[in-house]
Amino acid sequence: MKQRQFRILLFTLVLAVFCLFPLYGTDRAPINVNLIIDGSSSLSAVKAEITTWVSGRLDQILTDGDRVTVWSAGPAARVIYSGTVNNQADRDAVKRSISNLSGTGTNADFSGALREAANLQSSGYSYTLLISASPAALTSVISGPQANLLRFSRIEEFSEWRALVVGLNMDTRVRRAAAAFFGS
């Protein structure tokens, strides 16, 4: 009897390994990555630290097929890079666009960049990272009409700057999911 139980246990383990094995090698679906970086003069003092940190973060999250848009939130928000990452050269181009960014002016138009990023979202998953080099730069967003875009955010504080992971359009997605769940 023990031999039969052993065979059943062995068969179950082998079956589990072969059934779960394909899950470990699968890649995730491509995502949209939005990087919104403070383009005001406050960036100059911490640019090297921000560039290093963002490059490391990109190495952690980017996979082939991801669509990346980088905004400079200076006096007016503008796209400084947009493209799909398919290889190391594309990853390097994204990083180069960030390292070439220079800060000018005293204002950072985070509202404009957040609004554009929210409008560009497709039905797929999106990751939005906002980098602020000045607390004053975030004040206009928090007190302005785009404050609702920061409602679902996670903030990581550094000595002279902060990184916000922003959940753009989360309220709409939560409402849709709740409606689908409750059948309304």
pLDDT band at 172 (very low <50, low <70, confident <90, very high): low
Could you give the number of structural domains in the chain?
Answer: 1
* Domain of residue 39, CATH code: 3.40.50.410
Q: Which residue has the tokens 């602020």?
A: 132
- Whole-angstrom Cα distance, residue 16 to residue 95? 41
* Predicted pLDDT of residue 24: 45
Asked if pLDDT for residue 26 goes beyond 50, the answer is no
Kindly state whether residue 181 falls inside one of the protein's structural domains. no
Residue at 102 is within a domain: yes
Q: Is residue 2 part of a domain?
A: no
Does a structural domain hold residue 159? yes
Tens of pLDDT, residues 123-164: 678 889 999 998 777 777 776 766 666 766 788 889 899 998
Q: What range does the domain containing 162 cover?
A: 32-174
What's the mean pLDDT in 40-60? 93
**Quick one: pLDDT at residue 167?**
81
The yes-or-no verdict on residue 170 having pLDDT over 80 is no
- CA dist 102 and 139 (Å) reads 21
Q: What is the mean pLDDT of residues 105-130?
A: 84
What's residue 1's pLDDT? 60
- The reply to whether 98 falls in a domain is yes
Centre a 10 Å sphere on the Cβ of residue 85 and count the other Cβ atoms it contains.
21
By percentage, how much of the chain surpasses pLDDT 90? Answer: 40
Sole residue written with tokens 């470990």: 24
- What is the reported pLDDT for 115? 87
Is the CB of residue 71 less than 8 Å from the CB of residue 35?
yes
